[in-house]
Amino acid sequence: MPLIIPTNSISAGGYDVANSLRFDDGSSDYLNKTFASSGNRKTFTISTWFKRSGIGTQQEIISSHNGGNDEIALRLNSTNELRFYNYQTSGTNFNLQTNQVLRDTSAWYHVVLAVDTTQATSSNRIKIYLNGEQITSFSSETYPNQNIDLNWNMNNLHFIGLRGAFTADYFDGSLAHFHNIDGTAYAASDFGETDSTTGQWKPKTSPSVTYGTNGFFLKFANSGSMGTDSSGNGNNFTVSGTLTQTQDTPANVFATWNPLHRNRAIYLSEGPGQVSLTNLNTTATGPNGTAGAGYSHTISTLGFTQGKWYAEFKLISELNAMLIALVKEGWDGGTFGTINSAGGSTFSFSNGKIEVNSTTEATVSSPSLNDIINVAVDADNQKIWYGVNGTWQGSGTQNPSTGDGGYDYSFVGDSVMFFGFSDGGATLQPVMSANFGNGYFGTTAVSSANSDDAGFGLFEYAPPTGYYSLCTKNINTYG
Burial class (CB in 10 A: 0-12, 13-18, 19+), 343: middle
Share of the chain above pLDDT 90, in %: 55
Task: Indicate whether 6 belongs to any domain.
Answer: no
Q: What is the pLDDT of residues 121-149, one digit of tens each?
A: 999 999 999 999 999 999 999 999 999 99
| Distance between CA atoms of residues 347 and 427, nearest Å | 23
| Distance between CA atoms of residues 264 and 90, nearest Å | 50
Counting every residue written for the chain, the total comes to: 479
Number of domains into which the chain is organized: 2
Decide if pLDDT at 113 tops 70. yes
- In the 8-state DSSP scheme, what is residue 14? S
Question: How is the beta sheet containing 91-101 ordered, strand by strand?
Answer: 138-142, 91-101, 81-88, 71-76, 59-65, 157-160, 30-34, 238-240
Which pLDDT score, from 0 to 100, does residue 1 have?
29
Q: What is the pLDDT of residues 443-475, one digit of tens each?
A: 899 999 899 999 999 999 999 999 999 999 999
Task: Indicate whether 301 belongs to any domain.
Answer: yes
| Pair (231, 295) in one structural domain | no
Domain that holds residue 102: 20-246
| Distance between CA atoms of residues 199 and 202, nearest Å | 9
| Cα–Cα distance list, 141 to 127, 130, 450 (Å) | 11, 16, 49
Which pLDDT score, from 0 to 100, does residue 14 have?
34
| Pair (224, 266) in one structural domain | no
- Which of 176-190, 291-305, 455-469 has the weakest average pLDDT? 291-305
Decide if pLDDT at 339 tops 50. no
What mean pLDDT value characterizes the chain? 84
- Which of 216-220, 258-262, 298-302, 344-348 has the weakest average pLDDT? 344-348
- Identify the band that residue 321 occupies on the pLDDT scale cut at 50, 70 and 90: low
Which pLDDT score, from 0 to 100, does residue 454 have?
95
Which pLDDT score, from 0 to 100, does residue 244 have?
87
| Pair (294, 354) in one structural domain | yes
- Identify the band that residue 9 occupies on the pLDDT scale cut at 50, 70 and 90: very low
| Distance between CA atoms of residues 443 and 436, nearest Å | 14
| Distance between CA atoms of residues 203 and 201, nearest Å | 7
Task: Indicate whether 129 belongs to any domain.
Answer: yes
Q: Mean pLDDT across the stretch 417-445? A: 83
Q: What is the pLDDT of residues 88-98, one digit of tens each?
A: 887 789 999 99
Decide if pLDDT at 6 tops 80. no
- Identify the band that residue 360 occupies on the pLDDT scale cut at 50, 70 and 90: confident
Cβ-proximal residues to 10 (8 Å cutoff; 6+ apart), any chain? 198, 200, 253, 472, 473, 475, 476
Task: Estimate to the nearest angstrom the gap between the alpha carbon of 278 and the chain centroid.
Answer: 11
- Identify the band that residue 337 occupies on the pLDDT scale cut at 50, 70 and 90: very low
Cβ-proximal residues to 264 (8 Å cutoff; 6+ apart), any chain? 271, 272, 273, 274, 294, 295, 296, 297, 333
| Residue of higher predicted confidence among 414 and 456 | 456
| Pair (312, 420) in one structural domain | yes
Which pLDDT score, from 0 to 100, does residue 427 have?
64
Q: Mean pLDDT across the stretch 22-38? A: 89
| Pair (331, 218) in one structural domain | no
- Secondary-structure breakdown of the chain: helix, strand, coil percentages, each rounded to the nearest 5: 5, 40, 55
CA neighbor of 5 nearest in space, from 252, 174, 197: 252
| Pair (227, 349) in one structural domain | no
Residue 36 corresponds to which amino acid?
A
Q: How many C-beta neighbours within 10 Å does residue 457 have?
A: 28
Residue 212 has phi, psi (to 5 degrees) of: 75, 175
Q: What is the pLDDT of residues 345-355, one digit of tens each?
A: 466 676 667 77
| Pair (443, 374) in one structural domain | yes
Q: How many helices, marked H, and strands, marked E, lie in the chain?
A: 1, 35
| Residue of higher predicted confidence among 228 and 386 | 228
Task: Indicate whether 123 belongs to any domain.
Answer: yes
Report the range out of 6-10, 67-71, 83-87 with the highest average pLDDT.
83-87
| Cα–Cα distance list, 165 to 3, 58, 169, 281 (Å) | 41, 14, 10, 28
Which pLDDT score, from 0 to 100, does residue 3 have?
34
| Pair (289, 235) in one structural domain | no
